[in-house]
Each structure stands twice: as C-alpha cells, then as structure tokens.
Amino acid sequence: MDIHQKIQRLNNIKTDLFGKDFLLTWEKEDSSIRMILEVANILKEMRANNISTRLFDSGLAISNFRDNSTRTRFSFASASNLLGLAVQDLDEEKSQIAHGETVRETASMISFMSDFIGIRDDMFLGEGNKYMREVGAALDEGVAKGVLPSRPGIVNLQCDMDHPTQSLADLMHLKQQFGSLENLRGKKIVMSWAYSPSYGKPLSVPQGIIALMSRFGMNIELAYPEGYELIPEIVDIAKSNATTSGGSFNISHSMEDAMKDADIVYPKSWAPFHIMQQRTELLKNADKQGLKELEQQCLANNTWFKNWEYDAKKMKQTKNGDALYLHCLPADISGVSCEAGEVNAAVFERYRIKTYLEAGYKPYVIAAIMLTNKFAQPAEILTKIVERKRLRMGF
Amino acid sequence: MDIHQKIQRLNNIKTDLFGKDFLLTWEKEDSSIRMILEVANILKEMRANNISTRLFDSGLAISNFRDNSTRTRFSFASASNLLGLAVQDLDEEKSQIAHGETVRETASMISFMSDFIGIRDDMFLGEGNKYMREVGAALDEGVAKGVLPSRPGIVNLQCDMDHPTQSLADLMHLKQQFGSLENLRGKKIVMSWAYSPSYGKPLSVPQGIIALMSRFGMNIELAYPEGYELIPEIVDIAKSNATTSGGSFNISHSMEDAMKDADIVYPKSWAPFHIMQQRTELLKNADKQGLKELEQQCLANNTWFKNWEYDAKKMKQTKNGDALYLHCLPADISGVSCEAGEVNAAVFERYRIKTYLEAGYKPYVIAAIMLTNKFAQPAEILTKIVERKRLRMGF
Amino acid sequence: MDIHQKIQRLNNIKTDLFGKDFLLTWEKEDSSIRMILEVANILKEMRANNISTRLFDSGLAISNFRDNSTRTRFSFASASNLLGLAVQDLDEEKSQIAHGETVRETASMISFMSDFIGIRDDMFLGEGNKYMREVGAALDEGVAKGVLPSRPGIVNLQCDMDHPTQSLADLMHLKQQFGSLENLRGKKIVMSWAYSPSYGKPLSVPQGIIALMSRFGMNIELAYPEGYELIPEIVDIAKSNATTSGGSFNISHSMEDAMKDADIVYPKSWAPFHIMQQRTELLKNADKQGLKELEQQCLANNTWFKNWEYDAKKMKQTKNGDALYLHCLPADISGVSCEAGEVNAAVFERYRIKTYLEAGYKPYVIAAIMLTNKFAQPAEILTKIVERKRLRMGF
C-alpha cells in the first residue's frame, strides 16, 4: 500500500481528537486510537523518506516535566521539531512557580504563543491528571476571555493514572510485530509486576497497558504479589473493555503461572497503590521522616518478591518459549543496571533491539496527537504535505 | 481600520530604534514608544489571523537571565520564535563565566551568530543596567574590530533601573482599555507601594511605570511609606516628563488617600532604595551574615505597613469604585499566595483576567523591539509579510 | 576570488568525511582537513552576506556536555542553527542516565530523530574518546537493526585526547593571519605549558594542536616543565607528522628558550598525564579523599613553575617580538582573572581581539563538519544554496 492509499483510508475515520486534550486513552473513541496509530505510521514513513512534515512556520511547544525523564523528553522534543515547533522548557526549579504562583496563572502566562503543552506529572497519586485538567481549565478560560489567541493542546506525557504516549507506542509496536490490530485478537498479554530495588515507581504504565490493550480482544493477565494493587477504577475499566472487545481479563498472583502460553509479556515494577496514597499524604505534609520510613518499609517489602524476575525459566513457559517482551525502558536488568531486578540479562538482551523499536514509535505517536489536535482533516493536510514535495534535509 | 492602513501609518513615524539597544524607555523618543506599540499591535493581529511573521530563516536570540523568571523568559522565547529566532540560554551556573571570564569576552563569545541578546539583571542596584552597557560596549568593539559580522541588539528584560518591556506592555493595555493614548490625558494613575512578606523586590517596575506613564499627560501619584524611596534621578525624570506632557506628578505617603478618584492603580511591593544600596555592598563583599541581618530588618520593617494592602475599601475610593488594576504578576494575594500581601483576594479576582490581558502584550512588545532594531523601515517589511501570505500553522 | 570559484575548488577535493564521525583530526585525510576549512570559510562568507545556509527544514542536534562549557556550547548551537537544526540538550543531571541506563540504550533513545550529536567528555583520561566510540557503535547497531532511520553524525566537542573543533578553528585563524596554509611551512609554533592556579585542565588542546599543526610543515616546539608530559602516543603522532610534512618536532623544558624566534605561541596550562591517570582511577573508585590530596599535591607542584607565564620578556624573544599569540580562551590572565596565571595582562590585551577572531571560526568549523558529514557533494549543495538566493534575515 503506498502512502496515498494510507492517507485516503483516514477519510473514513471519524474521531474526537480535534481541539481536544489527550489525557487518558479511555476517554478516546476506538476510532481515535486507530487514527493516532495510522497518522503516526504515515509520519514515520514520511520522515524515513526525507519528506518534510513541517506544519508550523513558527510556534512553541511547552514541555513541563515535573519528574525526571530522558526518553519522553526527547520524544516530545522530536515530535515538536518534526512539525516545526520549538520547545520551551518550563523548568520549575528556575521559575517563579516555586514562589506561590497558582497553576491557573502560570498556565496563561506560558500560553500566549503556545501551540502545545506536554506535561509529565506522575509523582503523586491523585495529583498528576488533576493538575493537567486544571491547566486545561485555565486555558479554556483564557480563550473564552480573550487572553489567548487559540487553545494550546495538552498531551499527557505520564501522570498518576495513564501514560498514553507509552501505551500507544507499545500498541504500534504490537501492530507491527503481529501484522495488524486484528491479529491481536485472542492473544494473551501478561502485564506483570516485577521486582526492582527501587521505590515509588509510577502505576501509570501498567494501568495504561491494561486499559488500552483490553480494547483489542486480547486476553489480559494482570499479575502481581498481593498488596501491589493498581487503582481499582482503572482495573474496572480494563475488565469492562475486555468484555466489550471479546477478550478476557484475569488477575493472578504468581508470575510463573501467569506467563503460561503468553504471546506478549510486560514485566515491570510498580509501587503498590496504598503505598502511593500514603506517600502523597506524606509529601503534602512534607513529612520527610515519614517518607524515609515508608521508603524503607517499601523496599523491605519488595525484597520478599525478588523471585518476580522475568528469567529464562519463565520465558520458557510462554508461547513457543518466545513471547514478545515489552518494556517502557529503562529496565532494571539483573547484573547490569542493578544486582537483582525486573529481568534476567540474557533474556533482556534477546529482546533488547525490539524494546528499542518499541520506544521508537513514541515520537511519532506524540506528533500524531499534535497533528490531529490541530487539524480537523488529517487526510487533507497529509495529502498537502505529500504534494508539497519539500525535503526535510537538503532541497 | 484594516491592517494595511495600520501599517501605512507607520511611515509617518521617525524613530531612534534602528540598530539601537533598548535599555531605558526614557532614552527613547516619544515617536519610538508609539512605534513599538503600533508594531506590537500589528504583530498581535497578524498572529491572531494565522499570518506567519517569520523574518529570520535562521538566527539566535540569547537569553541571559541573571535572576529567576517565568513570564519574561517565556515572553522573550515567544517573541524570538515569532520572528524565527531560536533561543539559546546563557546559563551562568553551567557556564564558565563563574570561573572568572570577563563580561567583555563572554559577550563576544556568545555573539558570533547572535541576532539579539535579552538580559535580565535586576538584583543589584547600580549594577544591572551598567552590565547591559558593558555588554553593549563589548559588542560595539567586536563589530568595529571585525570579530562580529553584525551587532546583536540588546533588550533590557529588567534591570535595577527600568523594566521597559513590562511598562510598555502595561501601556499597550492602557491604550486598549481606554481606547487610545490620547484618552489617557488627565487620567489619574497611582503607583503605590504595597505590603509583601518578601524582601528585596526590584525597584524597576515602579520606576519604569512613573517614568513612562508621565509622558502621556497623566496625573501620576507615587505613594509609599516614608523610607521606601525610589532612585531619586528616576523620580526627577518622571517629574520632568509630567510637566512637559501637561500632566502632574505627586508623591504621598498614604495608600488610602492616594487612591482617591484614581482611574488606574498599580499596587506593588518594592524594597527601599537605601536598603537595596546596602544590599549591593553586602553582596559585593559576600557578607552573608550582613545580608541575613538586612533581610530580617527589612522584613520586620515591612510589617509596620501591612495595611498597605489594596482592598475593597481602598478600591471604593477610586473613580466609580472601579479603577483599572494593574500588576506585573505574580501578585502577592492575601490568603492565596501568602497570608497577607499586596492585594485582597476578591479585589484581585475582579481584575485577574485583565492582568492576564496586560501580561499578554509583553511578547509582542519584545518582538516589536526586535523588529524595529533590525529593520529600518518597519512599514516596508510588515507590508511584505502581508503580501507573502504565508500561514503560521498549516499551508 | 568570488564565492562560485571558492565552491568550484571543492570539486577537486576527495575526502573521507561523508557519513563519518569526526572524533580525532589524525584519523582524517589531509584533504578532509582542507575541505573542512574551505567549507567553513564559505559558510562564514555566506552568513556575512545574509545568505541563508539552512539545509534542514526540521531536525535535531543533540548536545551532550559532560563538562561545563560556554563557548563550545554556543558554537555548537550556532552551527546547528545555521543549518536549520534545533538543539536539544542531553542534561545528565536531570535525565535518568544517572540512574543506571547504559550508554548503548541512551544513544538509541535520543537518536530516533537526531541528525547530529555533539559530545564533550574531557574529564577522565582514557574515557572521553572511548565514550564517543561507544555511542557511535550503538548508533551503528541502531541503523543496522532498523531502530534508527538514519545515522546521526557525532562530533567531538572535546575529549581526553583531542579538541578538533578548537584546533581546526585555530588552524583557520593561522591560515587567515598568514595568508594560506602553504605560508605556514617553516614557521615555528610553540605549544607551551603555562602556569595556572587551577587543577585538572584537560590535555586535549595541546595534544590537538601538536597533532594537527605538525601536518603543515611547521616547526613544532612543545615546551613544558618535566613531569607535565602529554599522552605519549599522541606526541608520537605529532613527531611522525612533522617528519612527513617536512617540518620538525622538538620537546624542551624552558618556556623562555622555547619562545626564541617563534612565529606563533600557544601558552596554555594543562595537567600532567600521570596525574590525570591517577585522577581517573580515583574518580572511578569515588575516592574523594584521594582526589582532594591529589588536587593539593598538583596545585603545590604547579607553584614551582609560576615563572611559566607568557610575559613581555618572553614575547620579546619571539620573531620581531611579535609572535602571534593563540589561546582557546578563557585564558588565566595575571592580575585579571587570577593573581598569577598563564599570561601577562598587557601581553594578552595586545592580542585579545585576535583571540576573539580565533574563537569566531569555531561555529563555522562545526557547521562544516556537519555539512560534509551529511552531504557527499559539498560543492553541489553549496551551489544550490547560492542559487536559492534565500536571505537569512528579511526576504
């Protein structure tokens, strides 16, 4: 299928993307999910063929990272640049935000000439997604009151609930590896907790994975040691999705058992829901001693589950002993990045390049979210890009 | 009036802007002030209408912030981007400047391919504006000796004396709110000190306001508790301007009295002139203990004037109980950003959106300063922009 | 000679630059060195004449500075911008790299849409250049395995062995000052250690200078106090180059004697090779006490050689008492940036502007490295630039 045909197909997809923030995959129609994947795929092909996909002659994309990040930061920067936007960091350490500015005010102040705001805020349960919505409400008010010439879009670059650009990149990878979204039907995917010598890892990746993958008729197995629950409401969404899509959803408490006949595995550490709730309270109260104790307790607790490492033995249990291994990276690799971790070094090495391929979809997913937010007719603008025949490098 | 007519009007304005740094409003002709406002207004309209105002195919704008900033940093980044310049931060913490480089040398080193340098240096009385002129002198030498291919313009993003991009944005806001600059004639504007639980706030905003607003026939009332003087020479400029422009200038020491029949109020905290002088000396001598004591003394002194809060009662004293409230943001809002501060929360909320509108002019003021510095015939280049018909977003 | 003729000349130069990283000058053919200088010179002329040299409609240049830098950082940013690339900093303090990511993984993660990676890693002997090659190997694997759509080029912005963009800028300066590379034949250049009250200065500049300048028939004099050796293998390269090119190479241990009849002098401090080796070991072992002691010992050692200051007396020894003074800046200037340092203040002042001119070539050298890495036929693309007639500023 050539690029024109791929673009033509978009005409049949009605979405709820134009002018809307992208905060949670489960707020978006199936058609919108498909649109993001198709547009991302087209942009990827265009770039590989040295076609300039620049859509903005000038414009700003604000990156607001309230937690550390390398790969998502670069993905956001890459996506912005691909479309012609310059990235401006909102660095709260060097800004006046730390001095009592309200979210509402800052949101307006950074948006007079912004086209997009990417936010990562995954540290505090109950806070990150809420913060993004507060920013969104402030922007809505700004447009309504004539403060802003247009409404910058917001893209969730990871919050306490979801990590949509990650799960969509993962989905693109699955589509590519299995040939189509339809081929995912009936496949077993295991989202499993894994041991890590660290503390406080967000829940957004496992939550994002079960909530998104359950929409494609897959059999979802969520495995974790008792006590490592996810946010119940999001688990309910995944269950409901599985029913609707003709798949299934199961929770179990043995990594080894869960892996049986798996087509896809995603072994990844996270902090237990109730611990993260306690942590949020302690953080709000700036209770340093309490936080220290919680960390110790949590790390001690983790060590009971050091056998939750994805190793050769568990891999053998999977379909043909070769389930596709997924990870959002960086993985805690036993003997490499830590003494004992989420995955055995030899097992990781076997799928290492595939995890890079998986990660490589993220910039295009973000660019597709941006494009579909700003252009009501993606097929039209993509056609114009092809016809423009402008090279990205050289001329 | 359509945009062509607005542009045509610029042909009649002779300015002293081309190739000149913008360091203090009082160094600029009235015609230049008007030009900045007109060009800023045209650029704002163009952007709102998705007209690309890109003037540089490549080029750098250096941002040199020697003090924290969110809104001015974003304004500078937005203005640069609007014209096609990429921003490069000169971050002195991660640079070698801290290791003994002279201003002169650094100025050259960052300017080989720079088109503009925006400097914020408002911490030390007697230092900030001086620093900007040292940079300017170094750039002049660089051009004269063939080191630099062209002279980057310098824009003062706040110094110890003036904050021109702020006061010009405020003036644009007044022009918009009152219909024209001519309508400002005879209006009473109160630049008033206000209580804040913080220390060492720059004097540049009140100084910039009285020095600029006094040029338009307004009646300026400068109010502060005794001891909170501004730089005398700048007060003299404001007095002289008021006389020349047919307005008046008065100093008083009661916020309540000052507010009577005011059309416009600007309640804003600042540190007293003589305290800032002491502070500069202590900083030069790296006298940490002295600085700590000065801060304590200054904060204690402030608390004598907690009643200098702009509240409903004082608002009632103003013209129709509804004077236009100005603030450079962020304001110290009682019960919101601090226990007791510059402004009552309900009063602030009433004018909150208008303060956002006020702030929204700053990026365009900076862009207008850049454009008029680099293009001797603003009308000509703006006409070419209109005729080019290039879209900012899409094509 | 007009610009067309300058471009035509490039057709006769066969190089090994296209698609190759630029890590060490001594890995590159003489023709490649000449090509870099010619292309840099053409780009400089184009920019001075307001010709846009933009070659990328979008694209990213990653700057990875593992040590502080102002001038090289700005040179890299300027070069990137000149060709149309946006700079994205890989800041290891705020990234997850510090948390155990492998070089290999990070290299891929930042490169999905990157065109160039500039790396400065000069702190640890035996590490910096090795690190760059590890990044390069990871990128090669990424391309081979389909992870990356194209191979970003790597440019060494200073490592433990070489500082090629510095030495090439220095060479451009010499070419300009003496009229041609041919005119350098037979000239005496003194690369001399100089006293500095600092510790741990990299060896890359002196090494880069002797290894590059020895290729043009110059008589190289390397002078340092005994104990301040450079990496022996690189000294051997310089010796061999000198023989091949018809020049000479001599090592001596008196600054005063070395300066006799010099045409060009480069007095610059560095740390002794064996000290840097010890330092690397101590750093690897995180031996803070050992590092502290080594620093004390090294500084104490330096003070024996305070007379290694380039002063008026030594300057008088040089050819006509007026040898061209080179420095990579910032220099340790006695009485200015330190009490006693590398160079006398009056002597430095005499050549100050020339050191600025010297520094001004670096952005163009980097841009030339980028252009020749990405375009197999530099003459062709430069001709197209001329014919495009696009202005950098205005239109």
Percentage of residues in chain C with pLDDT exceeding 70? 97
CB-nearest to B95 from C70, C332, C391 is C70
* Residue B98: per-residue pLDDT: 39
Give yes or no for a contact between C101 and A337, defined as CB atoms under 8 angstroms apart: yes
Q: What is the pTM of this model?
A: 0.97
Q: What is the pLDDT of residue C98?
A: 40
C362-374 mean pLDDT: 98
Percent of chain A with pLDDT over 70: 97
Chain C residues contacting B, CB < 8 Å? 47-48, 52-54, 65, 68-71, 73-75, 77-78, 81-84, 86-87, 329-330, 332, 336-338, 353, 356-357, 359-360, 362-363, 390-395
Chains touching B (3+ CB pairs < 8 Å):
A, C
Mean pLDDT across A277-299: 88
CA–CA separation, C366 and C360 (whole Å): 11
Contacts of B244 (CB under 8 A, 6+ apart): B215
Q: What's the pLDDT tens digit per position in C37-85? A: 999 999 999 999 999 999 999 999 999 988 778 889 999 999 999 999 9
Cβ neighbours of A83 in C, within 8 Å: 58
Per-chain mean pLDDT for chain A? 94
A12-48 tens-digit pLDDT: 899 999 999 999 999 999 999 999 999 999 999 999 9
User: Mean pLDDT throughout A130-136?
Assistant: 93
Fold of C167-359: Rossmann fold (3.40.50)
Q: Which of B112, B370, B380, B384 to mutate to test the interface with C (most CBs of C within 10 A)?
A: B112
Residues on chain C touching B146 (C-beta within 8 angstroms): 357
Residue A99 predicted with pLDDT over 90: no
**Residues in chain A closer than 8 A to B337 (CB atoms):** 99-102
Q: Which residues contact C12 (CB under 8 A, 6 or more apart)?
A: none
How confident is the model at residue C66, as a pLDDT?
83
Give residue limits of the domains in chain C: 3-162+362-388, 167-359
Tally A–C CB contacts below 8 A.
Answer: 107
Q: What is the mean pLDDT of residues A59-66?
A: 94
Q: Is the pLDDT of residue C100 over 60?
A: no
Buried b (16+ CB within 10 A) or exposed e, C317-334: bbbeeebbbbbbbbbbbb
> What average pLDDT does the segment A250-261 reach?
98
Of residues B178 and C280, more confidence is placed in B178
Interface contact flag, C393 B55, Cβ < 8 Å: yes
Model confidence pLDDT, tens digit, residues A101-132: 578 899 999 999 999 999 999 888 888 999 99
Q: What is the pLDDT of residues A162-205, one digit of tens each?
A: 999 999 999 999 999 999 999 999 999 999 999 999 888 999 99
Element (H, E) at B347: helix B345-359
Size of interface B-C (CB pairs under 8 A): 107
The answer to whether the CB atoms of C90 and A69 lie below 8 A apart is: no
* Residue bearing tokens 């081979």: C144
Q: Residue B391 — left, alpha, or beta (φ > 0 → left; ψ -120 to 50 → alpha)?
A: beta
- Please give the DSSP secondary-structure letter assigned to residue B252: E
For residue B94, the chain C residues in CB contact (below 8 A) are 65, 68
Residue A100 above 60 pLDDT? Answer: no
Q: Is the pLDDT of residue B269 over 50?
A: yes
pLDDT tier at A98, thresholds 50, 70, 90:
very low
Residue C92, pLDDT score = 64
- What is the structure's pLDDT at B93? 54
Which of A67, A71, A66, A5 shows the shortest CA–CA distance to A366?
A71
Average pLDDT, chain C: 94
pLDDT of res. A124: 84
Taking the CA of residue C59 as centre, how many other CA atoms within 13 Å lie in the half-sphere pointing to its CB?
30
What kind of fold does domain A3-162+362-388 have according to CATH?
Answer: Rossmann fold (3.40.50)
Rounded to a whole number of angstroms, the distance from the CA of A86 to the nearest CA of chain C is 8
Give the mean model confidence (pLDDT) for residues B176-205.
96
Range A165-359 has CATH code 3.40.50.1370:
yes
Query: Which of A20-34, A270-284, A359-373 is the least confident region?
Result: A270-284
**pLDDT for the residue numbered B340:** 95
One-letter amino acid at A301 equals N
Does C337 have pLDDT greater than 70? yes
Tell me what the pLDDT averaged over chain B comes to: 94
Phi-psi region at C227: left, alpha or beta (left = phi > 0; alpha = psi -120 to 50): left
Can A3-162+362-388 and A165-359 be said to share one CATH topology? yes
Smallest Cα distance from B191 to chain C, Å? 40
pLDDT at residue B276, as a whole number: 86
Question: Residue B88: enclosing H or E segment and its boundaries?
Answer: strand B86-89
Summarize pLDDT for B340-364 with one digit per residue, the tens: 999 999 999 999 999 999 999 999 9
* pLDDT score at B92: 63
Position with higher pLDDT, C33 vs C103: C33
Label residue A254 exposed, middle or buried (CB < 10 Å: 0-12, 13-18, 19+): middle
Q: How far apart are CA A111 and CA A139, in angstroms?
A: 8
Tell me the mean pLDDT in the region B323-350.
95
The CA distance from C164 to C80, in Å, is 17
**Residue pLDDT, tens place only, A220-248:** 999 999 999 999 999 999 999 999 999 99
Q: Which two tokens stand for residue A136?
A: 């969104």
B164-359 is classed CATH 3.40.50.1370: yes
- Can you tell me the mean pLDDT for B59-71? 89
